[in-house]
Amino acid sequence: MTVTTLERIGSQGAQPRQTRLGGLLAVASVRWAALALVLFLAGLVAQVAHAPSPLWWTLYLACYAAGGWAPAWDGLQALRAKTLDVDLLMVVAAVGAASIGQIFDGALLIIIFATSGALEDVATKRTQDSVNGLLDLAPEQAVVVSPDGTEHAVPAQHVRVGDLVLIRPGERVSADGVVVDGTSDVDQSTITGESVPAVKRVDDAVFAGTLNGSGALRVKVTHDPSETVVARIVALVAEASATKAKTQLFIEKVEQRYSTGVVAATLALFAIPLLAGADLQPTLLRAMTFMIVASPCAVVLATMPPLLSAIANAGRHGVLIKSAVAMEHLADTTIVALDKTGTLTEGTPQLSNVVALNPDRIGSDELLALAAAAETGSEHPLGRAIVAAARGQGLTIAAAQNFQALPGRGVRARVGTRQVEVTSPSTTPEHQLPAVIRAEQQGGTAVVVFVDGDPAGALELHDRVRDEAVAAVSAITSMTTGGPVLITGDNRSAAARLAETVGIGEVQAELLPEDKVSTVTKLESEGHRVLVVGDGVNDAPAMAAAHTSFAMGRSGSDLTLDTADAVTVRDDLAAIPTVIALARRARRVVIANLIIAASIICVLVAWDLVGHLPLPLGVAGHEGSTILVALNGLRLLTNRAWRRAATPGRQSVA
């Protein structure tokens, strides 16, 4: 049996909750399995009541058709593609049993087989629904405020970027956006997992599907309905569910040869004793039993349910894992390389001082306005802070032309008739300016502003360390063989001060993007499996070079989000060790599943070869092991699994 591909069934807007029975019957395989069971029970009653044999034979054959047509069709389609599907082996075994008069045993095989497949599909649907259910939280309608102040309700999917929407007290937020008026407490637990409502004020971001508290908010829409955080979570989890882990690909590759071997062994078990004079019926029955118990259904299902459950669980808690391969790689992590600005810090630095070198030529206000104009097109947190400071002081920011981002260095643009460059001090001879030295000594950051090629001044900025940084670094240290490494383009003094604050022992500072790549490559060459965590454009090359990578989703650049293997939507550093622990637990479950599946196959095959294994018992053992490994994997879908992974005592070196 194979894992059913997750279908996207979520839709925008709140939908009525299905009853448990209605939800089950929505799965096609459940309906066919139920029909097959009814026909089987009817046939059994007729047989026990000594009804005419054509009656119960007909009922049993109808059971064959209801429960076996789908796997038979899929198996034949696979056979046309020159692939041997183990589902087809089950159907062939059932038909073989019927051909020697064991119609009851064959029908029982079909029932158990169909029920097992239905349970797998229900389990897969549960995994899918656990994430798609987030979409049900988004309201069907939004209240849009027109420029003249009038309010009118529109379908939420018709809201566009730039619209102003009103969120009344007690209502769910209808779109992703930024608060432009009002203050309220917003329950974001559906996205962030935080049980305490977050205070939202002007300029704070809010997300569709979250629950507004006692205050009214006016929100400027920043994302289309199809691109909200909730929609992205669902889409990325669906994409990840469509991928296959390396372990799964290896198993499927081996499965083809193994299944061919099972068919060959079955033919030998049938033909050789028959040629030696054995009776037809017991010989064929033993061969059919062997083909059933030797089929690798449970082995095929051992890998993907745990990984997909872990991916879905992480998605519900605001962490997007982009593929099953990424989940496997996260489990391999032996060392974590962390960026500074926007990763260990909040990424919202504040301008603390403006120093003009020649105030008579270019004063502080003009210097800040020129720097802000050049930084307008920048995605870097320092650039955004400079622009915000200029606007906050009411300065006029001129339009810039010929904007050019210099990764790891700064930006360059033409502002009016002047060429303005805002750069890192480490890349210029002006890194010894008093303002630069003072900022670095205080653990801050400075940038140097050049106007027409000459240094015009420096801007001092300070950032705030994330509240969870110390705990996250401590957890990462305890669960990796090498302590975390700080890799940053910032100055050595500021980097060292931050590293001491959060508990990082190794610091690599003043790195250009190519230097970060070299650092990661060196760690990989030493045998480490490196996880890079970052948020800026200059982190993307290092992320691509690493074994796996994590992006800070709220402040991360588009390039970084595209490059990363995983994204934390709420910029929660604590989620990183939790996901590593969850990935390692998923790997342990995969190993346990493989051991369980292989052991049961060996026991049943040995029993059939050296003893007499009844067909119904062989079927029950084979299908039971398949269901067991599937349900074992689904344990990682629960909130308890996430809490367990987040417990410091559970986070240890793999």
Q: What is the DSSP letter of 162?
A: T
What integer pLDDT is reported at residue 16 of this predicted model?
A: 40
What integer pLDDT is reported at residue 10 of this predicted model?
A: 32
What integer pLDDT is reported at residue 415 of this predicted model?
A: 93
* Lowest pLDDT segment from 250-254, 338-342, 368-372, 567-571: 250-254
Residue 456, SS3? strand
Query: Average per-residue pLDDT in the chain?
Result: 83
Over residues 487-510, the mean pLDDT reads 87
Burial class (CB in 10 A: 0-12, 13-18, 19+), 610: exposed
Q: Which contiguous run of DSSP H or E holds residue 309?
A: helix 304-316
Dist CA 174 CA 476 (whole Å): 37
pTM recorded for the entire structure: 0.68
Tell me the range of 9-13, 62-66, 445-449 where mean pLDDT is highest.
Answer: 62-66
What homologous superfamily is domain 350-462 in, according to CATH? Calcium-transporting ATPase, cytoplasmic domain N (3.40.1110.10)
Tell me the range of 13-22, 180-189, 340-349 where mean pLDDT is highest.
Answer: 180-189
Same fold, 139-227 and 350-462: no
What integer pLDDT is reported at residue 4 of this predicted model?
A: 35
Compare 100 and 518 and report the one with higher pLDDT. Answer: 518
Over residues 455-479, the mean pLDDT reads 90
Dist CA 485 CA 533 (whole Å): 10
Compare 593 and 199 and report the one with higher pLDDT. Answer: 593
Is 637 within 8 Å of 130 (Cβ atoms)? yes
What integer pLDDT is reported at residue 386 of this predicted model?
A: 93
Dihedral angle sign, alpha carbons of residues 216, 221, 225, 229: negative
What integer pLDDT is reported at residue 41 of this predicted model?
A: 93
Q: Is 339 a catalytic residue?
A: yes
What integer pLDDT is reported at residue 589 of this predicted model?
A: 95
What integer pLDDT is reported at residue 11 of this predicted model?
A: 31
Output b/e per residue, 96-133; b: 16+ Cβ within 10 A: bbbebebbbbbbbbbbbbbbbbbbbbbbbbebbbbbbe
**The CATH classification of domain 139-227, taken from the options 2.70.150.10, 3.40.50.1240, 3.40.1130.10, 3.30.70.260:** 2.70.150.10
Is 186 within 8 Å of 206 (Cβ atoms)? yes
* Lowest pLDDT segment from 8-17, 32-41, 222-231, 303-312: 8-17
What integer pLDDT is reported at residue 8 of this predicted model?
A: 31
| Identity of the residue numbered 484 | P
Burial class (CB in 10 A: 0-12, 13-18, 19+), 581: buried
HSE of 210, CA atoms in CB hemisphere, 13 A:
30
* Lowest pLDDT segment from 14-18, 29-33, 572-576, 623-627: 14-18
Q: What percent of the chain has pLDDT over 90?
A: 32
Q: Which two tokens stand for residue 35?
A: 């029909």
Burial class (CB in 10 A: 0-12, 13-18, 19+), 274: middle
Q: Which of 176, 339, 572, 608 is catalytic?
A: 339
E strands in 177-228: 177-181, 184-187, 198-200, 205-206, 211-212, 217-221
Domain layout of the chain by residue ranges = 20-133+236-311+582-650, 139-227, 320-344+466-571, 350-462
Architecture of domain 320-344+466-571: 3-Layer(aba) Sandwich (3.40)
Is 315 within 8 Å of 237 (Cβ atoms)? yes
Dist CA 123 CA 634 (whole Å): 7
Q: Which two tokens stand for residue 311?
A: 């991916």
Is 415 within 8 Å of 400 (Cβ atoms)? yes
The CA-CA-CA angle for residues 201, 206, 208, to 5°, reads: 150
pLDDT surpassing 90 at residue 531: yes
Tell me the range of 307-311, 321-325, 474-478, 493-497 where mean pLDDT is highest.
Answer: 474-478
CA distances from 342 to 458, 465, 477, 511, 571 (A): 21, 9, 20, 16, 9
* Lowest pLDDT segment from 41-55, 225-239, 265-279: 225-239
pLDDT surpassing 80 at residue 278: yes
Confidence of residue 341 (pLDDT cuts 50, 70, 90): confident
231-243 residue pLDDT tens: 776 676 666 556 6
Over residues 451-474, the mean pLDDT reads 89
Over residues 482-509, the mean pLDDT reads 88
Dist CA 361 CA 452 (whole Å): 13
Over residues 601-629, the mean pLDDT reads 87
Dist CA 648 CA 232 (whole Å): 29
Please choose, from the candidates 398, 376, 377, the residue with its C-alpha nearest in 3D space to the C-alpha of residue 388: 376
Which residue is listed with tokens 């809490």?
643
What integer pLDDT is reported at residue 553 of this predicted model?
A: 74
Compare 75 and 397 and report the one with higher pLDDT. Answer: 397
Over residues 616-621, the mean pLDDT reads 83
97-150 residue pLDDT tens: 788 787 888 888 888 778 877 876 776 676 666 656 656 667 888 999 998 888
Polymer length of the chain: 654
Is 284 within 8 Å of 246 (Cβ atoms)? no
Dist CA 422 CA 445 (whole Å): 13
